[in-house]
Amino acid sequence: MKRPGLISVLCVLGYISIVISFPQVFSPQVKKLGVFMPALSGLLVAANFMAYVGIWYMKRWGAELFLSSYFLKTILDLLLAQMGLMFYSGQIFSIFFIIVLLRHYRRFDLNL
């Protein structure tokens, strides 16, 4: 099954965002938010990485994991009032990616 070019480009951009966001897990700003925030932030980054790998291989679990981690991260950011430029740019990218995933969801493989 051939992966659409737009999904390939978005996955590569997603991998780049993971590389950029991973060091932020250990930043002092995240540690100031609470004791468990670095761990929770790290879990969300890991979930996003796994979701991008699943989407790259055109697996439905990847799209579903991306959608779940998107909603968890959005709820967490709203509860902690972390709404800056990165929040809004990430929301725009994620919503666009979700629209693309929903458009191609039938082509994704159900098997692991």
| Token pair recorded at residue 93 | 């990218």
pTM of the model: 0.87
Q: How confident is the model at residue 43 (pLDDT cuts 50, 70, 90)?
A: very high
Q: Which residues span the domain enclosing 97?
A: 5-107
Per-residue pLDDT reduced to its tens digit, 4-39: 899 999 999 999 989 988 888 888 877 888 888 888
What pLDDT was estimated at residue 1?
A: 63
Helix locations, 57-82, DSSP H = 60-79
Count of other CB atoms within 10 angstroms of residue 21: 16
Q: Compute the average pLDDT of residues 34-56.
A: 90
- Distance of alpha carbon 90 from alpha carbon 106, whole angstroms: 25
Q: Quick check: 60 and 111 in contact, CB under 8 A?
A: no
- Distance of alpha carbon 2 from alpha carbon 67, whole angstroms: 22
What pLDDT was estimated at residue 37?
A: 85
Q: Is residue 112 part of a domain?
A: no
Q: Is residue 102 part of a domain?
A: yes
Total structural domains within the chain:
1
For the chain, what is the mean pLDDT? 88
